[in-house]
A and B are shown apart, each in its own frame.
Chain A
Amino acid sequence: MAGGAREVLTLQLGHFAGFVGAHWWNQQDAALDRSGDAKEPPGELCPDVLFRTGRTLHGQETYTPRLILMDLKGSLSSLREEGGPYRDRQLDAAIAWQGKLTTHKEELDPKNPYLQDLLSAEGVLSSDGVWRVKSIPKGKGPPPVTAAKPVIPLEGGVRVWSDFLRVHLHPRSICMIHKYNHEGEAGRLEAFGQGESVLKEPGYLEMLEDRLHFYVEECDYLQGFQILCDLHDGFSGVGAKAAELLQDEYSGRGIMTWGLLPAPYNLGEPQKNIYRLLNTTFGLVHLAAHSSLVCPLSLGGSLGLRPERPVSFPHLRYDATLPFHCSAILATALDTLTAPYRLHCAPVSMAHLADMLSCAGKKVVTAGASIPFPLGPGQSLPDTLMQFGGATPWTPLSACGDPCGTRCFAQSVVLRGVDRACHTSQLPPGTPLPSPLHACTTGEDVLAQYLELQEPRALSSSHLLRSPCSVAPPYPHLFSSCSQQAVDSIPVFGALCSSSSLHRTLAGLARELTKLDLRRWASFMDAGVELDDVQELLQDLHSLAQCYQEGDGLTD
């Protein structure tokens, strides 16, 4: 479509993935608004990569995420499956039945004040029942919320991701899995096998294929898929099956998988904990087999059974028990990490990025990010980078423990939101240079040089972007340093890194799995996983962990 953007289709599988996704789309939407307002030259990130232009039956232009999301029955709350600009109230009311009608109406889920505010600000259902948007979302964006104090969604008021979603979704985006319940005790999607079997059913499979087809067919230069997938519940199985399908159907395209885990878990529920471990392990191994790159994302300290403290950020205060907060941080990281394949000019294609990071079967990578990047006033980039000293500048986001003392094989680093003026050192000529970084003439060089210093043996690629990450509301207010004024964008430093810490993590998972007596968890096995599968899984896990072994005799 527009300008030959290399399109990417996003799949969001699971409820936490929905949270992360909702934050991410909000952030992108906010970035769109800003670039439109200031009449700047188009930003560095090309929105057409993830969004698509469409047209409703009434000829209204739409700009919606190129997205397929799956969630369980009862998880949408006030969001309609077929909503937004594509609605037509008049036609919806037409009923194909002549006789009397009994209406069984669920209590209308109240829209929270935030959503109501949003609704009134941007569009009206005109009297003939056709949705009219006051302004075209693309370019101009919805009119800035003129109210003196925009309503910010309350942390307590957010139960599901649709409570704070700003963007409209295309009617083909939402796939509901009616077989399982979102809430309640019965009918949960809790095991990997259940998830796999969902996509073995012809009904759901056809639904997914149809939607894939709809989005993919219109793409001229599809570069790949990104899968946001919950790892802790049965959605890991859905993700594994979906990745397999994509690999079969669209060979040669990149498949980036982000395995998401909500941070804390309760030791009080041993069954849930065991299930989480099993699902995560099964998910990781199967996803690694079928996608180009897999990256677990979590604010938790470890993937294993024993909980560790959630990670902390030097400049953030967040509540690890709130998915609303955790997902916001992960979304910010995602927005930064995925930048290389979303660039306007000279993008690195998804497949290339994956190739670079995953040499010799190292398909699992870790992520890290420094949110916000602590660029003090008056400081230049070299100054800030030198401040870190030898320590890793970013907080690990993959639940693989402290990256200290581990080796990095390959990394892709993105720094965004740093003003061009600060890129290089502004020291008056003649002053002795505090570090070699200060001698570099461009920001790109500074970054490359820094990475070279940090990880001399790693294959590094770096990107330096001027546009910051947008954190306008409904992004939660997490910043401790500048608590007074509202921040609407921050610099972020993120890295994807194939690190030897994965050896420890993956081997640890294998160890814990071996110790488990799986016959005790018969209900997990009932769902279609057999003991042989577990053996095979362990094999795969061991060989995957082997890839990350340090000191294989060649280097040391």
Chain B
Amino acid sequence: MQPRETTAPLPLPTAGRNRRAAAALWGSGQGLRGARPRGQGAGPRGVAAESAPPEGRERQRRPNSRAHVSAGSLHKRPRLVSGAGDIKLTKDGNVLLREMQIQHPTASLIAKVATAQDDITGDGTTSNVLIIGELLKQADLYISEGLHPRIIAEGFEAAKIKALEVLEKVKVGKEMKREILLDVARTSLRTKVRADLADVLTKAVVDSVLAIRRPGYPIDLFMIEIMEMKHKSETDTKLIRGLVLDHGARHPDMKKRVEDAFILTCNVSLEYEKTEVNSGFFYKTAEEKEKLVKAERKFIEDRVQKIIDLKDKVCDKSSKGFVVINQKGIDPFSLDTLAKHGIVALRRAKRRNMERLSLACGGIAVNSLEDLSVDCLGHAGLVYEHTLGEEKFTFIEDCINPRSVTLLVKGPNKHTLTQTKDALRDGLRAIKNAIEDGLEQPTLGQSKSEALNSVWVSHMGGKNPGCVVPGAGAVEVAIAEALIKYKRKIKGGARLGVQAFADALLIIPKVLAQNSGYDLQETLVKVQAEHVESKQLVGVDLNTGEPMVAEDARVWDNYCVKKQLLHSCTAIATNLLLVDEIMRAGMSSLKG
């Protein structure tokens, strides 16, 4: 093992050759450090705590390094309060980065890469920042001793290729049953929200993905609507197997609760509006105008009558309900007529909900009322309205085999809602990744979705082979170990680059240990030893600080997140190193 960096507390940038990069990094590091999520598994995954934190985690960390003094202890979570007093509570690195105003160009570059990582995979923001920072720091050690950045970059590149090979080897292909998906989601969510909330969300997230998944098709997360409701507490967040619309019927006589209802989704204007473009009425007298207006109005009335006819036909004096959900407007006159016939009508449904509606309740969304028939209608067991202040919510539940569902986020205030919502999004992505990582990688020239489609259709046939990698820093330890062996095959200075890369990756288990309140060196050494001995993938157990086999502890990370991390971190660190060299050359030539 390479003992040097494990004993050296984060060195302050010295007057090395690569001063600018180091200073820049340090600048960014400071900025990030201040707001870096401190807590169980900041970024990289630790074992998800099943119970209340044991006393061990509360003990004070040894203040053995300058940089660590400022670090909070376990379970600290940054709360951001803006200048106007707006609160944001988060432990999600992505959210933090988006909130910070980063002025330094290097720091802002790193932040952009990190948020891009989140856009692509939905996770890994903090790891990204940590690894890039550590790569530069390790590189700085060698550069200050005279190694050329270009050679380090070569080493990084070789190391990256090897690391990806290792990652390929350690990934675990499994059939994605509910249990393992729960594990994946839990690992992801526990790092973002508190434990009891995470458990609530885990179940909701997994069940929602399972509900909308159709064999033979890629998972479309857009079919899961996330709706927020400022009401009760965040643990009341739940999965609705149907749809929740954030508006209600606009007529006092319409029923607030309808059972066993037909649902008509349409995109037809039911409001009287002056016809478009330059075609004002031409009239001579007031009566004539009246007549024209009436004729226009009649046109709308006919449309309303068609809906009423259909209702009379299908309901036929039975107690069945009838709900119209229209994407266009419905004016008060039409609402009144519909209400008189016992029809509940919602207007101005969101465009994105139209597709979901027909997926959830069945039926087809109609664009004209000309050929309305019973086949167009969907069905829901229960439709009811819930009013909160000035806001209304319409729940459409008890659908038969819904292929679009809603995650209803609840919480007492806005920042809780946002926090829960962000966590849900990440959880959904983690599950989607886990399921879809099992597919073969797209070949060149073929877009990912195309590849997915063809693979799903041809090979899967209803099975769900997914793929995950062990979490809790196990992968990083394994890769570092492999790289140390590998570096002997590399000749010249690039070997040092490989060494630096291996050392940099170990920041993940180190931060895990540190954030849980353990001695990072001690923990790391133990984990590494255990890994070499057992030949298994060993990570950090955040409850005990002892090594544990990640697979047995059911801590899973996404394969694609790790892969993306290796790619983007190497690319950015390399670029920063080289840019720095060019800048320096320019500076000296200016002076001379």
Contacts and interface: CB of A to CB of B under 8 A. Distances in A.
Interface string A226-259: 0000000000000000000000010110000000
Interface in B343-385: 347-348, 350-352
Contact of B77 (A102, A187, A206, A251): A102
Interface of B: 34-35, 38-39, 53, 72-87, 89, 98-99, 101-105, 108, 193-195, 197, 230, 233-234, 246-247, 250, 273-274, 276-278, 280, 329, 331-332, 347-348, 350-352, 388-390, 411-416, 419-420
B82 A106 contact: yes
30 contacts: A59-B389, A74-B101, A76-B83, A92-B87, A94-B412, A96-B194, A97-B77, A97-B89, A97-B194, A98-B75, A99-B74, A99-B76, A99-B77, A100-B76, A101-B76, A101-B79, A101-B89, A102-B77, A102-B78, A103-B78, A104-B79, A109-B83, A184-B101, A186-B102, A186-B108, A213-B247, A213-B348, A252-B273, A352-B274, A359-B278
A79 B85 CA distance: 8
Contacts of A98: 75, 194-195
A88 B413 contact: yes
A220 interface: yes
A352 B280 CA distance: 8
Contacts of A57: 230, 388-389
Interface residues of A, number: 62
B122 to A, nearest CB: 13
Nearest to B332: A220
A222 B250 contact: no
B276 A252 contact: yes
Contacts of A220: 250, 331-332
Interface in A258-273: none
Contacts of B347: 217
Q: Which of A77, A99, A104, A108 has most B Cβ within 10 Å?
A: A99
Contacts of B85: 80, 108
Nearest to B230: A57
B72 to A, nearest CB: 5
A187 B98 CA distance: 12
A216 B347 CA distance: 10
Main secondary structure of the interface of B (DSSP, over half): loop
Contacts of A185: 103
A428 B347 CA distance: 60
Nearest to A92: B413
A81 B86 contact: yes
B89 A96 contact: yes
B103 A102 contact: no
B142 to A, nearest CB: 30
B356 to A, nearest CB: 13
B194 A104 contact: no
A178 B86 contact: no
Interface in A435-451: none
B238 to A, nearest CB: 15
A83 B108 CA distance: 31
A69 to B, nearest CB: 15
A291 B332 CA distance: 27
Contact of A217 (B247, B351, B411): B247
Given A218-B250, A220-B332, A99 B75 contact: yes
A81 B246 contact: no
B37 to A, nearest CB: 10
Interface in A109-160: 109
A80 B350 contact: no
Contacts of A352: 274, 280
Contacts of A187: 102, 108
B194 A82 contact: no
